[in-house]
A and B are shown apart, each in its own frame.
Chain A
Amino acid sequence: QVTLRESGPALVKPTQTLTLTCTFSGFSLSNAGMCVNWIRQPPGKALEWLARIDWDDDKYYTTSLKTRLTIFQDTSKNQVVLTLSNVDPVDTATYYCARSLPSGYDAFDVWGQGTTVTVSS
């Protein structure tokens, strides 16, 4: 059974760096075609794709946040980490990690339950 679970702080202050961890099981990110993504959803708003890391360590970021985002993996721990620097209240959202279809297509077939982050002083 494939599962993903997000973890991280519930509250961060403006200008700080947010660090989120996605711990997954049931698949290996070392296998060809596997990708893990981060997606966020501000309260009452639509979904926004943020970043993706591939089995071969290729990384992709959304254009508008590219300078503030970093994604990396800890293969030994089955974890994918996302950092977002210089956070602002507009970064308040539920952050999800999700797996791409095993063939590498970016339709997201398994999602974590999400972690809610509030940016406030």
Chain B
Amino acid sequence: EILLTQSPGTLSLSPGERATLSCWASQSVNNNYIAWYQQKPGQAPRLLIYHASSRAIGIPLRFSGSGSGTDFTLTITRLEPDDFGVYYCQQYGKSPRTFGQGTKVDIK
């Protein structure tokens, strides 16, 4: 099973700042099959990024994904107040599919 470790645990930033979220895999992720989700309290997760760097339908350009192998990054340029929530990475290169423990983004 591939273990995903996310860093930092919490990120407190002001609107307009840049957020950089990291996801490390315990082994190389096949074909960089990494997805990123945003989850707000009481809501289901929302797909942001798949295949490490492809934006899902309707996702703003300020969200971008990068990385390969075992190191992946989600970047949110110019944070907006609505970007608060918990962000999860997930791998689907190997079964069972696994998620990271999440990074909480607080907007100051």
Contacts and interface: CB of A to CB of B under 8 A. Distances in A.
Contacts of B96: 49, 60-63
Contacts, number: 60
Interface residues of A, number: 22
Interface string A95-110: 0101001000111110
Given A106-B92, A107-B51, 20 more contacts: A46-B88, A46-B99, A47-B45, A47-B88, A48-B99, A49-B99, A60-B95, A62-B97, A96-B45, A105-B50, A105-B51, A105-B92, A106-B97, A107-B35, A108-B35, A108-B47, A108-B90, A111-B46, A112-B44, A114-B44
Nearest to B57: A109
29 contacts: A46-B99, A46-B100, A46-B102, A47-B88, A49-B96, A49-B97, A49-B98, A49-B99, A52-B97, A61-B96, A62-B96, A62-B97, A96-B45, A105-B33, A105-B92, A106-B33, A107-B33, A107-B35, A107-B50, A107-B90, A107-B92, A108-B35, A108-B37, A108-B45, A109-B50, A111-B44, A111-B45, A111-B46, A113-B44
B82 interface: no
Interface in A1-47: 37, 46-47
